[in-house]
Amino acid sequence: MPSTHSWLSIPADSDFSLFNLPIGVFHTGDQRPRAGMAIGNHIVDLAAAAEAGLFGKRRFFVKIFTQATLNGFIALGKPVTNRVRKKVQDWLSLPQKPENASNILVERGKATMLMPIQVPNYTDFYSSIEHATNVGKMFRPDNPLLPNWRWIPVGYHGRASSIVVSGTPIRRPKGQILPPGGAPDTPVYAASRQLDFELEVAFVIGKESALGEPIPVEKAEEYIYGLVLFNDWSARDIQRWEYVPLGPFLGKNFGSSISPWIVPLEALKPHRVKGPKQTPAPLEYLKTKGAKNCDIALEVTVKTQGQDKETLICRSNTKYLYWSMAQQLAHHTVNGCNVQVGDLLASGTISGPTPDSYGSLLELSWGGKNPLNMADGSTRTFLQDGDTLTIRGWAGENGAKIGFGEVSGAVLPAL
């Protein structure tokens, strides 16, 4: 770790402390995408830093950092990605402001963040026992937690093509829906009336595995580059009608949003914690030791159309997750399924133990029965057109925060 002091002024409450240095892709109005690391209210332009020789092998790194996505950089492996991060930390910790600072630093407010990775595959887990139990109670009151849940990190293959970066609006989907009080099993084609969010965190695969070769649970974190906030938009009415017997489909695949900054797993080291006790003990290939969860505080807000004020609707934490990332990845590959650089594996909705920590409107409004009060005096059971949903997350305290920034998206009316 470098000194805790930088020649650059970094606000104490910034998500992007000297210990964080998450990576993203941005442009400054010139449509010239390049990689950057967030620091306080600035971005270290990695293409400019490479040009200035900060990482050696000038031409190689300029090429790497002027690509439209970070897949090429991440694929270089942790020895290289960690060394680049360390070089940036050292540069920011120099005793005096270096002469090349004005070429390398960009004001964050002047940058537009882009989709940081090309996502080959997306998998969504279901790893919060509180969420699985809550949803189970609503969909199957007699049998909330299915017998496999405590044995398997349950998941499904999602859609990578509709993953978008924070700030991208989401169009309300239309689909087959059973109208309330309608004839049994007679659906209509209509706009979803139960548009929801799901509070999730996803990890980015940094190293490919070979087809046919499982990733052992104790080696799983070698394959994880970093984490992003993830909003897995969901249309509950479409989902409810379609999900039997094969699970989620069009109620889920119309859009998922990610935060633009990827926080490297390395940066979260001081914030690793043990997960909840697992009963029964997992099968051998899922057994882990030590602190495999992360302590990341999460908040969700809704801003209604025309309002400046956000309403806080949920506070949760990744530490509640029953299945860890290592277990998810070991399970995903135990049959020989391979992973690719840039793959996203999402946690599933992260609900905590108390009603104010539930990570979806389905749970917060308990299936629409308990409307939530908004700052403008209106109420919500599910999202309305014009609503902006924002997730924020951070680990650590002021001065050393490992923050994710936010993932935000506004709801557009159905076509």
Residues with active-site annotation = 131
**Which residue, 49 or 204, has its beta carbon nearer to Ca ion?**
204
Closest separation between CB of residue 131 and Ca ion, Å? Answer: 9
**Which one of residues 45, 130, 196, 198 is an interface residue with Ca ion (CB under 5 A)?**
198
Give the interface size with Ca ion as a residue count (CB under 5 A): 3
Residue 198 or 387 with smaller CB distance to Ca ion: 198
- In the chain, the largest separation of any two C-alpha atoms, in whole Å, equals 74
User: Smallest gap, in angstroms, from Cβ of residue 232 to Ca ion?
Assistant: 4
- Contact between 232 and Ca ion (CB under 5 A)? yes
Contacting range for Ca ion; rule: CB under 5 A; set: 16-24, 83-91, 121-129, 384-392: 121-129
Site pattern 68..97 for Ca ion (x: CB under 5 A): ------------------------------
* Minimum gap (Å) between residue 163 Cβ and Ca ion: 12
Among 190-198, 263-271, 364-372, 374-382, the segment contacting Ca ion (CB under 5 A): 190-198
Nearer to Ca ion, 6 or 253 (CB): 253
Part of the chain binding Ca ion (CB under 5 A), chosen from 12-20, 43-51, 191-199, 401-409: 191-199
CB of 77 to Ca ion, least distance (A): 30
Distance of CA 379 to the CA centre of its chain: 27
Residue 363 binds Ca ion, judged by CB under 5 A: no
Q: Taking CB under 5 A as the rule, does residue 196 contact Ca ion?
A: no
Query: Which residue, 124 or 130, is less far from Ca ion as judged by CB?
Result: 124
Which segment (64-72, 95-103, 122-130, 377-385) binds Ca ion by CB under 5 A? 122-130
Residue 124 interacts with Ca ion (CB under 5 A): yes or no: yes
CB of 126 to Ca ion, least distance (A): 7
User: What does the binding site for Ca ion look like in residue numbers (CB under 5 A)?
Assistant: 124, 198, 232
